[in-house]
Amino acid sequence: MASLSNSTNIFWQECPVGKLDRQKLLNQKGCVVWITGLSGSGKSTLACSLSRELHSRGKLAYVLDGDNLRHGLNKDLGFKPEDRTENIRRTGEVAKLFADAGLICVASLISPYRKDRDTCRAMLPDKNFIEVFMNMPLDLCEARDPKGLYRLARAGKIKGFTGIDDPYEPPLNCEIEIQQTNGVCPAPTAMAGQVVSYLQEKGFLEYQ
Ligand X SMILES: Nc1ncnc2c1ncn2[C@@H]1O[C@H](COP(=O)(O)OP(=O)(O)O)[C@@H](O)[C@H]1O
Ligand Y SMILES: Nc1ncnc2c1ncn2[C@@H]1O[C@H](COP(=O)(O)OS(=O)(=O)O)[C@@H](OP(=O)(O)O)[C@H]1O
Find the shortest distance in angstroms from Cβ 107 to ligand Y.
Answer: 9
Q: Which does 79 bind (CB under 5 to 8 A by kind): ligand X, ligand Y, none?
A: ligand Y
Which of 30, 37, 92, 171 is the binder for ligand X (CB under 6 A)? 37
80 contact, one of ligand Y, ligand X, none, CB 5-8 Å limit per kind: none
Give the Cα separation of 41 and 26 in Å (integer): 32
Bridge partners, 135 (sequence order): 179
CA angle centred on 50, ends 49 and 51, rounded to 5°: 95
Q: How far apart are CA 205 and CA 200, in angstroms?
A: 6
Q: Under the criterion CB under 6 A, does residue 192 sit at the interface with ligand X?
A: no
**Binding to ligand Y by residue 140, rule CB under 6 A?**
no
Whether residue 111 lies in the annotated active site = yes
From residue 199, give the alpha-carbon distance in Å to each of 31, 82, 175, 203. 9, 32, 11, 6
The C-alpha atoms of residue 133 and residue 182 are separated, in whole angstroms, by: 18
Contact status: 165 vs ligand Y (CB under 6 A): no
Q: Footprint of ligand Y on residues 104-123 (CB under 6 A)?
A: 109-112
What residues numbered 120-149 form the site for ligand X, per CB under 6 A?
A: 144, 146
Catalytic residue among 3, 5, 111, 197: 111
C-alpha closest to that of 188 among 38, 67, 42, 36:
42
| Closest chain position to ligand Y (CB) | 66
* Distance, first Cα to last Cα, the chain: 43
Query: Shortest gap between Cβ of 146 and ligand Y (angstroms)?
Result: 8
DSSP 8-state class, residue 166: B
What strands lie across the sheet with 61-65, from one edge to the other?
A: 61-65, 104-108, 31-36, 129-135, 176-179
Residue count, binding to ligand Y (CB under 6 A): 21
Residue 44 interacts with ligand Y (CB under 6 A)?
yes
The closest alpha carbon to 40, from 164, 141, 183, belongs to 141
Q: Does residue 44 bind ligand X (CB under 6 A)?
A: yes
Which residues, 167 to 206, sit near ligand Y by CB under 6 A?
Answer: none
Select from 2-10, 13-21, 84-92, 172-180 the region that touches ligand Y (CB under 6 A).
84-92
Positions touching ligand Y (CB under 6 A) are 39-40, 43-44, 66-67, 70, 79, 84, 87-88, 109-112, 147, 149, 158, 160-162
Q: Kindly list the catalytic residues.
A: 111
